[in-house]
């Protein structure tokens, strides 16, 4: 099974983790639950009329781990490209390797820069609309790449987009993968 590492546990990282784990990619997500979502009161997330950001986060964490994502309570200090993927070092000193890496670190853009990605004039780490970067199998999502569109639903959409690209590579040999479920008749 291929594996993905996700740095950052806000809406962007958790959404990517949910999509990947739900579709059998070995997924490890790092963060210490320090997202600014804990200050938010959501009235603008389609489908959720009203919810405190902390509750949203708790549900998101349960959703992702419920499908098998490994949520590691750690800060990532170092990220390196290797011949077959990426290796990251947590503040515990433990190292983790994976074929894919998704950076979802909000306004903290240092790890993305350490992998050779550049900031634009607006501070954004460059990525395509689908969250791909110029480094193979490295994705950047949410606020890290969209400093002027800081909305939970946009970060979650970015995370889903990165995950779909990974799933397209892994399951469809590059043909587009959709994560659709149907009502039971």
Binding site for ligand FAD (CB under 6 A): 7-13, 30-32, 34-37, 39-42, 44, 75-76, 104-106, 108, 111, 142-143, 150-153, 155
Residue placing its CB nearer to ligand FAD in the complex, 11 or 98: 11
DSSP letters, 119-156, are B-TTSPBP--TTSB-SSTTEEE-GGGT-TT---HHHHH
Vertex 139 angle, CA 137 and 141, to 5°:
165
Provide the minimum distance between the beta carbon of 71 and ligand FAD in the complex, in angstroms, as a whole number: 11
Helix/strand/coil for 149: coil
Are 22 and 179 spatial neighbours (Cβ–Cβ below 8 Å)? yes
Residue placing its CB nearer to ligand FAD in the complex, 76 or 125: 76
Provide the minimum distance between the beta carbon of 180 and ligand FAD in the complex, in angstroms, as a whole number: 24
Exposed, middle or buried by CB within 10 Å (0-12, 13-18, 19+), for 46?
exposed
Residue placing its CB nearer to ligand FAD in the complex, 111 or 164: 111
Provide the minimum distance between the beta carbon of 75 and ligand FAD in the complex, in angstroms, as a whole number: 4
Provide the minimum distance between the beta carbon of 172 and ligand FAD in the complex, in angstroms, as a whole number: 26
Residue placing its CB nearer to ligand FAD in the complex, 13 or 85: 13
Token pair, residue 90, equals 């947590």
């Amino acid at each position: 099974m291929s594996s993905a590492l996700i740095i950052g546990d806000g809406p962007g990282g958790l959404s990517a983790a949910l999509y990947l784990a739900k579709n059998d990619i070995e997924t490890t997500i790092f963060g210490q639950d320090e997202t600014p979502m804990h200050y938010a009161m959501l009235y603008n997330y389609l489908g959720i009329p009203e919810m405190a950001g902390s509750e949203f986060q708790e549900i998101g964490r349960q959703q992702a781990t419920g499908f098998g994502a490994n949520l590691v309570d750690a800060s990532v200090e170092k990220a390196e490209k290797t011949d077959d993927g990426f290796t990251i070092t947590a503040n515990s000193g433990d190292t983790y390797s994976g074929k894919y890496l998704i950076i979802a670190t909000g306004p903290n853009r240092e790890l993305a820069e350490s992998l050779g990605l550049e900031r634009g004039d607006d501070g954004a780490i460059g990525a395509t609309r689908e969250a791909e970067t110029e480094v193979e199998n490295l994705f950047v999502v949410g606020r890290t790449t969209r400093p002027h569109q800081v909305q939970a639903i946009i970060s979650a959409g970015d995370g889903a987009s990165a995950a779909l690209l990974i799933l397209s590579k892994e399951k469809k040999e590059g043909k587009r993968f959709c994560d659709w479920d149907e009502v039971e008749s």
